[in-house]
Structure 1
């Protein structure tokens, strides 16, 4: 029985992980949850799973949750809050496996603490490796911690890597759906609305990651993540547009062989793979994970157009530089995406903002998580200034 801490238990990865726990109750037990700000879902998860500890975003929400639990006659659950609470969840001695699924740098400190505590990590938070991958990978090596990717693309690469040794890998291919605008004329990009950008053709995700998919910044983050997870230079991590989203990624070996991982587009599958690793378990108890081979009747692949998707170009440039550039890339993107969703900047204002922030970011590599957070904060300040200047120019 693996005892789990789920960081981001109320999000899509968190709820999918709990679905796996539901399907495999003899294998996986969630005993610690970090639930963010969704009080209603956090309470429902406490009712169903009776964790030892739950963390929620603020002290006020923690008080409200404690009162609701008391009123419902639910006892024995410790309620904590904030970053310290999330770190507590991630380092709980009884926990065997930590699912890191908090979006953004909010989950960074807890994930790093879990690595240093020797926990096995199921990583679904791109930003951890984008912003602090150098530190996290070094800590994982020092503490002999397994970092098992839950993102479907990196999970696919992890599976395919078993077909050879690291020295035999020619390159890794990350597949991308291309988002909703892969065939949209470039002249129309300036007029793309948030409502249009939020209509992803394949996946149902949160707002930021959906916009990142539309700009292909999400794939850029995955390039950086792959470089760090698999110790590869950016030139060996390639992106290919694959609209069917059937092949989740591929590994090409030096003898010309290419291994591809194919499965349903359901996040429960990579979560189950990570939780069970190095075993594979029969997925019969989790309906819907079996793949229909008829869906292989058409597989299309094409190179991404970097003029159409400048965010992907910027991510490759940041990957080559590393350090502060990757931190700034992530922070500036988060600020720019929020401004786009608020209608303050156009769709192409996202890459324009990011590029300006990268130009203003000093070089260097952070020596600690606190340095990462400082650089992240400064990049956000710079991004807001860039956007304010853009708006002033428009007026």
Structure 2
């Protein structure tokens, strides 16, 4: 029985992880949860799972949750809050496996703390490796900790890598749907609205990640993650547009062989793979088996970097490393929010990021505190760029 801590238990990855626990109750038990602001969902999860510890975003919400526990007669669940509470959840001594799925840098300290205490990590938080990957990878090596990717693309690469040694890998291919604008004329990009950008052709996701998919910044972040997870330079991490989203990624070996990972587009599968690794478990009861009829058409194409400048910027940041990657993520988050609020145009997103990167140093932070300080500085820079280069409400 693996005892789990789930960072981001009320989000999509967290709820999918709990679904796996429902399907395999003899294998996985969630004993520590870190929720965000959704106190009602957090309460329902505690009612079902009775964890030892739950962390909620604020002290006020923690008090509210404790009142709900008292009214329902729930005892024995420790309620903590804030960043320190999330660290408490991630480092609980009884925990065997930590699912890191908090969006943004909010989960960074807890994930790093979990690595340093020797926990196996199921990593679904892009920002951890983008902003602090150099530190996290070094700590994982020092403490002999397995970092098992849950993102479908990196999970697919991890599976394909089992077909050879790292020295036998020629390059890896991360697949991308291409988002809603892969065939949109470039002349129309200036007029793209938030409503149009939020209509993803394949996945239902949160707003920021949906916009990141439309700009292909999401794939750029994945390039940086892949470089760090698999110890590869950026030139050995390629991106291919694959609209069907049935091949999740590919690994090309030095002898010319290519292994592809194909499965249903259901996040429970990569979660189960990470939780069970190095085993594979029978997922018949979870309905995760693939219908081969879906392979009737497979299209692949090279992304146009003129159409997707965010992908180019990500490759440049990956080559530089350090604060460039931190600034890439921070500036993107600020720019995407500004776009959704109608304060900058769609192409204002890469323009903002590029201007921030031009003002970013080449330093490599030596601590998580320095990473967080660089993150705050990049966000301030992005706000300044937006204030000076864009004005008024666009639509």
Do Structure 1 and Structure 2 share a fold, with TM-score over 0.5?
yes
1:130 is the counterpart of 2:133: no
- Secondary structure of 2:92's partner? coil
Alignment match, 2:216: 216
Given that 1:87 and 1:113 are in contact with CA atoms closer than 8 Å, whether structure 2 keeps it comes out as yes
Query: What's the counterpart of residue 228 of structure 1?
Result: 228
**Contact map agreement 2:227 2:233 (CA 8 A) in 1:** yes
User: 2:323: which partner in 1?
Assistant: 324
Q: Is the 8 A contact 2:343 2:392 kept in 1?
A: no
Partner of 1:342: 341
How many equivalent pairs are there? 394
Tell me the SS of whatever aligns to 2:201.
coil
Counterpart of 2:164?
Answer: 164
Q: Give the corresponding residue for 1:254.
A: 254
List per-residue Cα deviations over 1:234-264 (Å, max 9, x = no partner): 0000000000000000000000000000000
Q: TM-score, normalised by structure 2?
A: 0.99
Counterpart residue number, 1:363: 362
CA distance, structure 1, for counterparts of residue 338 and residue 44 of structure 2: 33
Instruction: Verify the 8 A CA contact 2:343 2:391 in the aligned structure 1.
Output: no
How much has 1:200 moved relative to structure 2? 0.8
Distance 1:23 1:192 in 2: 42
Other structure's SS at 1:239 match: strand
Q: Which residue of 2 aligns with 1:176?
A: 176
Contact 1:24-1:285 at 8 Å conserved across structures: no
CA contact (8 A) 1:127 1:330 kept: yes
Question: Can you list the C-alpha shifts for 1:122-144, whole angstroms capped at 9, x where unaligned?
Answer: 00001100000000000000000
Deviations 1:48-70 (A, max 9, x none): 11111000000000000000111
Distance of 1:188 and 1:117 partners within structure 2: 51
State the Cα distance separating 1:362 from its structure 2 match.
1.2
Q: Distance in 2 between the 1:333 and 1:346 partners?
A: 13
The Cα shift of 1:23 comes to: 0.4
State how 1:81-230 maps to structure 2 within 5 Å. 81-230=81-230
Partner of 1:354: 353
Q: Secondary structure at the match of 1:6?
A: strand
Question: Could you tell me how far apart the structure 1 residues matched to 2:239 and 2:380 are?
Answer: 31
Measure the CA separation in 2 of the matches of 1:67 and 1:74. Answer: 10
Distance, in Å, in 2 between the alignment partners of 1:354 and 1:126 is 17
Partner in structure 1 of residue 48 of structure 2: 48
Q: Distance in 1 between matches of 2:303 and 2:312?
A: 10
> Where do 5+ consecutive residues of structure 1 fail to align?
none
- Aligned-residue CA RMSD (Å): 1.0
Query: How big is the shift at 1:6?
Result: 0.2
Structure 2 CA distance for aligned equivalents of residues 8 and 343 of structure 1: 29
Deviation at 1:394, TM superposition (A): 9.1
* Deviation (angstroms), 1:390: 1.7
Distance 2:187 2:44 in 1: 47
SS across alignment from 1:290: coil
How far 1:391 moved relative to its partner? 2.4
**What is the Cα deviation at residue 393 of structure 1?**
8.9
Name the SS of the counterpart of 1:280 in structure 2: coil
Could you say which residue in structure 1 is the equivalent of 2:383? 384
Structure 2: any 5+ residue segments left out of the alignment?
Answer: none
* SS class of match (2:289): coil
